[in-house]
Amino acid sequence: MTISWQSIQQEALDCLRALVRLDTTNPPGNERIAVDYLADVLGTYGIDSVIREGAPTRANLVARHPGTDSSAAALLLSSHTDVVPVERSGWTREPFSGEIAQGCVWGRGAIDMKSKCAMDVAMMTAMKRAGAKPNRDVILAAVADEEAGSDLGAKFLVERHPELVRAGYVLNEVGGFTVHLMNRRFYPIQVAEKGFVTVRMKVTAMPGHGSMPRSDTAISRISELITKIVKTPMRTNISPFMRRALEDMGVPLESPGPLFAPMLANTASPTILRAGYKDNVIPGEATIVLDGRTLPGEDPESFMAELRQIVGPEPTFELLKSAPPVQASPDTPLFELIKQTVEAADPGARAIAWMIPGATDNKYYSQLGAVCYGFSPVKLDPQMPFGALYHGNDERLPIEGFFWGLRVYAEVLFKFLGIRFDQVFA
Ligand SMILES: [Zn+2]
pLDDT digits (tens, 9 = 90+) for 291-327: 999 999 999 999 999 999 999 999 999 999 999 999 9
The angle at the Cα of 278, spanning 274 to 280, to the nearest 5 degrees, equals 120
Query: Is the pLDDT at 419 greater than 80, yes or no?
Result: yes
Q: Please give the distance, rounded to the nearest whole angstrom, from the Cα atom of residue 364 to the centre of ligand 1.
A: 14
Report the separation in Å between the CA atom of 227 and the middle of ligand 1, taken as the mean of its atom positions: 32
pLDDT in tens, 72-92: 999 999 999 999 999 999 999
pLDDT tens digit string along 126-166?
Answer: 999 999 999 999 999 999 999 999 999 999 999 999 999 99
Q: Which of 145, 195, 137 is nearest to 169 (CA)?
A: 137
Q: What is the pLDDT of residue 396?
A: 96
pLDDT at position 385: 77
Contact indicator for 342, 176 with CB cutoff of 8 Å = yes
Average pLDDT, the chain: 96
Cβ neighbours of residue 346 under 8 Å, at least 6 residues apart?
Answer: 178, 185, 187, 379, 404
- CA of 286 from ligand 1 middle (Å) equals 34
Distance between Cα 113 and ligand 1 center (Å):
5
The gap between the terminal CA atoms of the chain, to the nearest Å, is: 10
What is the model's pLDDT at position 366?
Answer: 96
Alpha-carbon distances, residue 389 vs 43, 346, 386, 392 (angstroms) = 32, 21, 5, 5
Ligand 1 centre from 30 Cα, in Å?
A: 16
In the reported structure, the alpha carbon of residue 195 is separated from the centroid of ligand 1 by a whole-number distance in angstroms of 16
Dist. CA 13–CA 100, nearest whole Å: 10
Give distance in angstroms: CA of 115 to centre of ligand 1.
11
User: Distance from the CA of 69 to the center of ligand 1, in angstroms?
Assistant: 31
The pLDDT of residue 229 is above 80: yes
- Per DSSP, the three-state class of 368 is helix
Distance 401 CA to ligand 1 centre (A): 18
pLDDT beyond 90 at 121: yes
Residue 270 Cα to ligand 1 midpoint, Å, equals 23
